[in-house]
Structures are given as structure tokens and as C-alpha cells.
Chain A
Amino acid sequence: EAGVVQSPRYKIIEKKQPVAFWCNPISGHNTLYWYLQNLGQGPELLIRYENEEAVDDSQLPKDRFSAERLKGVDSTLKIQPAELGDSAVYLCASSLERGPGPLYEQYFGPGTRLTVT
């Protein structure tokens, strides 16, 4: 079974440019997460989808970040325009969640390392 797939693995852009990241979760997983991880820190949740619905986007900087999960499968995270402070690793994770409450095991992709110059 394929794991969570992310692309690209690395991206270097100049500030003010747009950038997009793509994630394909494990087949059958209804929940998808996007995280941002700075060097030496833990992942910070940006947005969580249950199927195609964004159920928690409270930490997503909506002035420049947007995300979509069409048909409840793969997802795209976009930044426009990018700022120097956006340099980080963007992680996608998926899980099969059977109801509210517990934190279910998440399966992570390898991440996209973004460098904004």
C-alpha cells in the first residue's frame, strides 16, 4: 500500500511569488492534515479536513494561505504571496477517523521543504 505522497519535495522561490503543494493521502483515509514544521520544532496544524470539509482551519493564515480538498481525496495547499517567514517544511498527514474525540494514528508524508529567498 502506498503511503502519503507529497510533491514537490523541495521548492525554492522568491518572496512574493506563489507556491502550491500537493498531497495524496492513503487510499480510504477520510481525514487529511496540513502541518507546518520549522526547524527544531514540532508540527503546527494549519488545516484539518474530514472528507472535503475543512473542520479546523483556525491556524491557517487566510490572508495568504488557501487549501482545498476536492472530492475528499487529494489536497492542495497554496501560498500567495510567499514571505521569507514561510520557509519551513510543509507536512501532509492522513488518518482513518471513526468519530469525534480520540486522536487517531496519523500517517505522514515526507514533506515539502520550502525556501523563500
Chain B
Amino acid sequence: SQQGEEDPQALSIQEGENATMNCSYKTSINNLQWYRQNSGRGLVHLILIRSNEREKHSGRLRVTLDTSKKSSSLLITASRAADTASYFCAIRTSYDKVIFGPGTSLSVIP
């Protein structure tokens, strides 16, 4: 399978703590993206990291990419209740297939 896979499946933290979720994949990629989905709503693009980049920041988000391990991590610092959502990684494989992972469900407790 070339499907992206996130872990953990679910994560519960206190407001103010950091949240880290991981994504693994099994094929070569050009870039990897992270999306957020609030309950009952569509997905929103968060950040894109190219295969020649190792780390990228956007506000409270930090994404890392290790192409040798075929993995990426998303760190949300100083979490807020509004960060409660599901987070998905997405890739386009070398066979031009678009694949989303199963997601990590994050709960931030006020």
C-alpha cells in the first residue's frame, strides 16, 4: 500500500500544550501537505512542504519532512481549543495518485 498513514489516530491534550502528529508514506513524492478538518466541515489546507525541504513554519505550525524515512510530522505549539479538529496528510505519488492519510483526531481541552 502507498497510503499515507498518520499516528496517533487520536490525541487529547490540555490547552497550551504542544501537539505532534506523524505521517508516513511508502513512495517517492514531490511534496507533502497537511490539511485540517473541523467537525462536519470541509478540509482546509494548512501547509505544504517540498521534498527538498526539511522543515517549514507557519505561525504556530511546524512541519518536518524526512524523505529518507518517508515520514513527516506536524507540530502545533501552544494549542488552543480552536485547534480541535482532524488533521490529514496528503501526497501525490510517483504514479500520480493523490492519497490522503486516515487522519489524527486532536482534542484540545480548555
B43 touches A103 (CB 8 A): no
Q: Least Cβ distance of A53 to chain B in Å? A: 13
With A41-B103, A103-B90, A105-B33 as given contacts, are A111 and B98 in contact (CB-CB < 8 Å)? no
One of A11-19, A43-51, A61-69 at the interface: A43-51
Q: Least Cβ distance of A112 to chain B in Å? A: 11
Interface hits, B10-34 → A, CB 8 Å:
29-33
A110 touches B48 (CB 8 A): no
Number of chain A interface residues as a range: 20 to 34
In the bound complex, CA of A40 to CA of B86 (Å) = 9
A45 touches B98 (CB 8 A): yes
Number of chain B interface residues as a range: 20 to 34
In the bound complex, CA of A42 to CA of B43 (Å) = 10
Per-position contact with B for A86-117: 1 when CB-CB < 8 Å, else 0?
00000101000000111101111111000000
Q: Is the interface of B mostly helix, strand, loop or mixed?
A: strand
Does chain A have a CB within 8 A of B80?
Answer: no
Q: Least Cβ distance of B50 to chain A in Å? A: 8
A44 touches B97 (CB 8 A): no
Interface residues of A (CB under 8 A from B): 4, 33, 35, 40-45, 48, 55-56, 58, 91, 93, 100-103, 105-111
> Could you give 16 example pairs across A and B, Cβ below 8 Å?
A40-B105, A44-B100, A45-B97, A45-B99, A102-B31, A102-B50, A102-B92, A103-B30, A103-B31, A103-B32, A108-B42, A108-B43, A108-B44, A110-B42, A111-B41, A111-B42
